[in-house]
Amino acid sequence: MKILILGGDGYLGWPTAMHLTAHGHQVAVVDNYLRRSLGREENVVPLVEVPNLHQRTALWESISGYQIPAFIGDLTKWEFVEEVFREFSPEAIIHYAEQPAAPYSMLNRRAAMLTLRNNLEVTANVIFAVKQFCPDAHIVKLGTMGEYGTPDIDIEEGWLDIEHKGRKDRFLFPRQASSLYHTTKIMDTDLLWYGVRLWNLRVTDLMQGPVYGTETDESMIDERLNTIFNYDEIFGTIVNRFVTQAVVGYPLTVYGAGGQTRGYLNIRDTLQCVHKSEQTPAQAGELRIFNQIMETFSVNQLAEMTRRVGQQRGHVVEIKSIENPRKEAEEHYYNPSYQGLLDIGVEPHYLTDEVMAGMFEMVERYRDNIRPEVIFKGVKWG
C-alpha cells in the first residue's frame, strides 16, 4: 500500500516508516521538526543526537534499498497539505503529527496555545484532505489512554453501551483529560467521529499508553537508525526516564504516593499495532477504537523494577517520593480492556527484567551525554 506517515521524524514515526517499508509498503513521511525545535527551546535534548529526516531516509535507503520520500513542512498550512496529498495519493495515513507531550502543554499559556492550535488544525486538515483527495483511504490516528482519565469503572475500548430510562444507545466512552495535550486528543477523536458520520470516512483511533524503549528489528541493523530517546520530564516517557535516572545516580522521581497506574507497551508493539491496523482497516463509516496497551503498572512498580535491575547492574538506585506537580489521583481503580489488537494478531512484548536490562545497556553506553540538570523541570499542572 501507499502509506503516508505524518510526524515521520518522531519517536514513533521514524521506526514506523522503516518497519512498513521493510514489510513491502510504499511509504512517504512528513514532518516540520516541531518536536526537535521545542526541545531546543526548552533546553532538553535527546540522549543521542539523531540525523535529520533527509539524512535518515538516505541512510535507510543505502542499507535496505527502500526509498522513503520526505516532505518537510507544516501540516497546519492547507497549501502544504494539498501539495503532499496530490503528489503522493496515499491509501492509508498514519497520523502522529502532533505536539506529543502533556508536560509541555502545561508549561504556560504560550505552550498550551501552540499545542491546541497545532494538534487540532493538523487533525482537521487531515480529515479535509482525505475527504477531498482520497476518501477511501484509511486513517490510523494515534490517540492516548489519557483521554479516559481514571474513572471508577472499567474502561471499555472506546465505546460504551448505555441504558437510560428504558432506552439503549452506544456512545463514545466518557473522557476526562488531565492535561491540555490530552484535551486535544479528545477533540481529535470528536473531529474524527464527525468526519466518519458526515463523510463516511474509515478511521482507526489507537488509544496508546506510554511507550518505552528504542530497539526495533530495523534499528538493530545500524545504531544510526535509532529513534529519538528523551529522558527529561517534558518529552521523556516514564520508563525511559527512570532507567536514565538510575544510570546517572539521580533519585527516581516518583510523584506523590506513586499509585498512579497506566497501561504500557514496548515500541516494538506500537509498530505491530499500527501495522496490523493498516492490514485490517476500518470499514467505511466506522470509527474503530483500540486501547493500545499490553500490560499495566503503577509508578511504584516501575520504580521498584528499575531499582532491582539497576542494582543488578551495579548502580546505586534511590527512589524518592516528591510532591506531585500534576493534578491527578495518586491511588485509583484502573481496569482497561485491551483485547481488540490481540484479536487482529498483535503478539505482545512484555516489560521484563531482561528487557529493562537491555535499556540500561543502551543508556550506559551514552552515559556521558546525560545532563542531570534537565531531568526534572518541575512543570506544575496548576
| DSSP symbols for 103-118 | HHHTS-HHHHHHHHHH
**Is 181 an annotated catalytic residue?**
yes
- Check 11, 76, 183, 185 and give the catalytic one: 185
* Residues forming a β-bridge with 155: 336
Q: Residue 131, SS3?
A: helix
- Can you list the alpha helix ranges (DSSP code H) found in the chain? 13-22, 34-41, 53-64, 78-88, 102-105, 109-133, 180-199, 238-248, 267-279, 299-312, 340-343, 353-365
294 with 352: CB under 8 angstroms? no
Q: Which of 205, 177, 168 is nearest to 93 (CA)?
A: 205
Q: Which of 76, 144, 216, 237 is catalytic?
A: 144
Which of 273-283 are b and which e, b meaning 16 or more Cβ less than 10 Å from the residue's Cβ? Answer: bbbbbbeebbe
Spatial contact of 42 and 29, defined as CB atoms under 8 Å apart: no
Can you read off the three cell numbers belonging to residue 259? 499509585
Task: Give me the catalytic one of 11, 66, 96, 181.
Answer: 181
In the chain, count H helices and then E strands: 12, 14
Question: Has 150 been annotated as catalytic?
Answer: no
* Burial letters 94-131, b for 16+ CB under 10 A, else e: bbbbbbbbbbbbbbeeebbebbbebbbbbbbbbbbbbe
Q: How far is it, in rounded angstroms, from Cα 325 to Cα 328?
A: 9
Cell of residue 121, nine digits: 488544525
Sign of CA dihedral 98, 103, 104, 109: positive
Indicate the DSSP class of residue 284. Answer: T
Q: Which residues are designated catalytic?
A: 144, 181, 185
